[in-house]
Amino acid sequence: MIRLIIVAIFLIFIFILSIPIFLIEWIIGKININARHRFARWFVDKVFRIILFIVGVKVEVTGKENIPDEPCLFVGNHNGIFDILVTYVAVGKVMGFISKKEMKKIPFLHLWMVYVNCLFIDRENIKEGLKTILQAAENIKNGVSMFVFPEGTRSKDGKMNPFKEGSMKMAQRSNGIIVPVAITGTAQIFERQFPRMKSGKVTVDFAKPFNMNELPKEEKKFVGSYAQNIIQEMLDLREQG
């Protein structure tokens, strides 16, 4: 419980600090939008690292050499809120997340999410959801990688829910490059300890990227399942090891 209180106090401090920083971000954006992206990424990366340190989360990363130089779509399994923190730190490049629309209602946080290229999707409105996917594809074309959790919601028991094939369209409409990401241990940090936070080890494994446009016709129809199978294999290896 002490860790949760410390994190809450730290976040309140960050929210207060964000007020003048938002002004700085706005000025930088008027001069150089890419510089704004880099500064925002640097700031959020530092905040996430401090939170991980406070909670006592050790992140083990494998396969980082598989992250391509060009922008891509990262797809990962979703177990807990700490998935976002550990993957953002692990990727280490300009990247945005696809998040649920409800996040737009949180003061300050949603502005930071906008500054680090996050997009908000309405999963209940097909037309609006497609607009978000198309915008994500444009981001990738413009050099900003995107990260999506195709299950659509966090797993309750650690087992992956089926990946939503619509999430893959953002890769299909850009350069087609997808990097499967397997995440373990995040639910044990918070969700399974709620309202406490517990220190522990989290792993982030990056698989070799593949180009969905180069897949056989039948597999191209179900790219979500194809990526999910790769992630499941990595999770199985983690469990065996």
Domains and CATH numbers, the chain: 2-240 (3.40.1130)
Q: What tens digit of pLDDT does each residue of 171-186 get?
A: 888 888 999 999 999 9
Q: What tens digit of pLDDT does each residue of 122-140 get?
A: 878 888 888 999 999 999 9
The mean pLDDT of 151-177, rounded to a whole number, is 86
Contacts for 59 with CB less than 8 Å, ≥ 6 apart = 52, 86, 89, 90, 201, 202, 203, 204
Q: How far apart are CA 89 and CA 73, in angstroms?
A: 16
Is the per-residue pLDDT at 105 higher than 80? no
179 DSSP β-pair partners:
74
What's the confidence (pLDDT) of residue 241? 65
Is the per-residue pLDDT at 152 higher than 90? no
Torsion on CA atoms 20, 136, 94, 113, rounded to nearest 10: 30
Question: Mean pLDDT across the chain, nearest whole number?
Answer: 90
pTM (2 decimals)? 0.92
